[in-house]
Amino acid sequence: MDDVSRAYDQWAPSYDSDRNATRDLDAFALRSSGLSLRDANVVEFGCGTGKNSEWIAEHARSLTAMDFSPAMLRRARERVRGDHVRFVQHDVRTTWPVESATVDVVVGNLVLEHVEQLRPVFAEAARVLRVGGALYVAELHPYKQWRGSQAHFTDGASGEVVHVPAFVHAVSDYITDALAVGFTLTRICELTEGGAEPDAPPRLLTLVFQRTGVVAAYGAAG
């Protein structure tokens, strides 16, 4: 089993109840993003315990939510029910179990810091989206990562602090790799939580891309 998947299996029992400013800001950011889910077929990659799946399922026509951690996924399945919701255990770095050009919105929150290569994930998002569809990505801001922030938790049984393996992607990495597979950037936000020090770096980076059907000439080979 992958180290990241193993770590999230261990984190699953306390993921929703731990103090976690990034998780909470992410939930707020998605719900206030203006992303239109009405009548939308949505794919969520790295759905975790279903914190955002719950909100998506309330608004969308259908939701396919993927995660490779069985324990995180079990919690999501308990939390979100409905004939229009499908949870799939899947590694999002490999071909998604979704038909091409059938999806209106792809959402991924706090996942890509655990994925070394962004482009294969963006390429799958581009493949499953119809032209004009939206990709919403939210991540721990690289400025925070460069200052040492990394997803971590205290294991309830052993008391051990576990840092989940992570990679830093610059803002330009997200944009370059998304443009290279057929997206255009429509929105970028950098958010700081309420009560943060005035000179604190942004905690969260959110990006919205639109599927254009045109692959940028530069960066396509990289």
Footprint on residues 51-110 left by ligand SAM (CB under 6 A): 51-52, 66-69, 72, 91-93, 109-110
Instruction: Please say which residue, 120 or 219, places its beta carbon nearer to ligand SAM.
Output: 120
**Contact between 193 and ligand SAM (CB under 6 A)?**
no
Instruction: Please say which residue, 89 or 192, places its beta carbon nearer to ligand SAM.
Output: 89
Other residues' Cβ atoms within 10 Å of the Cβ of residue 215? 14
Contact string (CB under 6 A) for ligand SAM, positions 27-56, x = contact? -------------------xxx--xx----
Instruction: Please say which residue, 6 or 187, places its beta carbon nearer to ligand SAM.
Output: 6
**Contact between 151 and ligand SAM (CB under 6 A)?**
yes
Residue 120 Cβ vs ligand SAM, minimum distance, rounded to whole Å: 10
Instruction: Please say which residue, 192 or 212, places its beta carbon nearer to ligand SAM.
Output: 192
Say how many residues touch ligand SAM, by CB under 6 A: 24
**Contact between 135 and ligand SAM (CB under 6 A)?**
no
Applying CB under 6 A, which residues contact ligand SAM?
A: 4-5, 8, 23, 26, 46-48, 51-52, 66-69, 72, 91-93, 109-111, 114-115, 151
